[in-house]
Amino acid sequence: MDRVLSRISRFGKIFSKPMRTWAAGRLPRVSRGMGATSAGLSVAAAVAAFGVQSAGKNLAVAEEKTNKMAYRMLGNSGLQVSVLAYGFWATFGDKNDLKGDSGVDMAKKCLRAARKGGVNLFDNAEGYGSGRAERIMGEAIRQLREEDPALWRRSDILITTKIFWGGRGVNELGLSRKHIVEGLDAACKRLQTEYVDLVFCHRPDPLTPTETVVRAMTDAVRS
């Protein structure tokens, strides 16, 4: 085992501490949410990849634990969010092969995999693909909910968006009260949801006083 650990450590320090802890019969808390994240391998998968077949039962237990998503409290909101979230960014609705029906189909595959892995927060923005990313995500989640209502029930997932770039008009961008209200309404329609769980200011707005932004966001939360 020491020779295996030494070999693994040469491929990246990320493996060394989790692997040694695993070998001692413990799993560090961070490994609960590792899955196939930054290093591309969970602790259990790393062991298997280097041919440690004799671990047997202990390997199966380690793999089961690393596949469980960890959750954290989001400030004092009372919401529990997965340590990994899924965001669209400027891909869906923007890249040629991720528009229209093909974009929805790919989004469904990605969203399904994320949700089954325990992800419960899905992020977007009005500026991604000029709103097309929100439309694709909204349609994909609608179809997924029809296919698996229990997994995609609205009460158990968090949908977020960001407001700033809503269009080309002078009043269709920024953080004025007008744009926050209208931009959020438009985002909800594209996402096919009556509300979003979190809304972010995508950028600071040097033209709008902070107190105006805060009042508008407070009213959006209360509405």
Query: Annotated active-site positions, please?
Result: 128
DSSP letter, residue 69: P
Specify whether the CB–CB gap between 15 and 56 falls below 8 A.
no
Amino acid residing at 130: S
Q: Apex CA 84: angle with CA 80 and CA 147, to 5°? A: 80
Closest alpha carbon to 37 in 122, 118, 98, 91: 118
For tokens 């200011």, name the residue: 201
Q: What is the 3-state secondary structure (H, E, C) of 10-52?
A: CCCHHHHHHHHHHHCCCCCHHHHHCCCCCCCCCHHHHHHHCCC
Q: Which two three-digit tokens encode residue 149?
A: 């209502």
HSE-CB for 210 with a 13 A CA cutoff: 1
Instruction: State in Å, rounded, how far the first CA of the chain is from the last one.
Output: 59
Specify whether the CB–CB gap between 91 and 98 falls below 8 A.
yes
Largest CA distance in the chain: 66
